[in-house]
Chains A and B, each alone.
Chain A
């Protein structure tokens, strides 16, 4: 049955709206890319001469280098800890009923609602009381708390989609709990685990507000260094660094989508 003209026009209007909204989302990235290759130190559109000098400057700027290293350290520790703690608890949440279950789950998911500056200030005060300010420990603990909800969710969704009968079959054939866990459960959960870890890693590396509160000069992560740079200088060095950030993040997520199916992990499409 051919659709009437008015319906088709509505379809086109819908498509135009989607394209316009996507344009709004992508616009800043495109504009920053144009600014990053501009040879001039001051913002100007369109650029008269192209150059890579701001990329060299971004790579060789001391605070960005140490920020990058600090960020990597914090990211590796916090995302790995969050992965272990979060997936273990997601398993318990999915399988067992116990007293206090809702309370613990609520507390662990609270950082999705509690503002990051509040989490940051709370941990700063706590760190001061146990003499841990200016250490990586407080930064890592802070990031674990902030990224844990994302690991919890993505592993929990994978567990929901997992066919428990496979585990029961292995157990009925004499598999001990640990061997069932390692030969059946964990391999089947791999997409959820990898994307949970990836989400945690990217979010930790890019976390800013809470980090601003809990980091010191010595433990400053890259976003904090970038924020300080923007406050002091107006040249396109930040634009160059932003382009690198955008390209790397988009590439990682594209890979994750190709190999893990982001749609399923984010629960925006149904596993069939």
Chain B
């Protein structure tokens, strides 16, 4: 089934798909281990249907943008609140900059590194199928999606995959490069509860520790298998992340939400500004020179994925570079 245009069918994910995405965030690793039909396998989606890379026609301009959603979301996360605002980033980039949008949907309860590997393989298949007809890749990741992109770029680079050389821009929208406070707090809370040997504390701790491996990866922003292999996932405060370089051949851009317009103290509620801006932290290298960090006053974490003001910067970033 080759799809000629995006506009063939605008049907997007409904309530059932949203519920499945949330379930995958919570216990997606368990669903995958047990081969449950409710797991959300990674695929590019169009009109609420999964398509293999071979199902797409060659991008007419050679330019492709890949949109990778965050934890517990699906491609509905990109839809602007008001229809008059123009659909979503993918549609606007198609209309105004000639990019063919590919919307990824995946099981966010799996390890970031597992999703990174799958994304790298998917992009390799897409680019191998279309050969020289793909000339440029733009990767856009919201929240956890940004980590999955970084992981995929690293693994693709390490294994010499061809698509990596086509990536010119990577855009991170509120991605927790240095971890997310909510997951850190949950880890602290379960560690604290572990100090008390009572039934109530044990029950609460066990229930909380049942969250998926994908969620636990957000504690420190894990990107590769070495970050979590041989580490107790519920151990208190352990950060064993290995330094992972940023993809040198691409330009990196960061949108940082600031829910209180005048102060960055709360970040976008879910991610702190330093983390979203990919700053240097201990052994972790900061974003390379030439990276652009755009603070978005008044925008919370979810709004970063679907706000016209963010789109303006997206367009500026991709156009600035010709």
B and A form one assembly: no
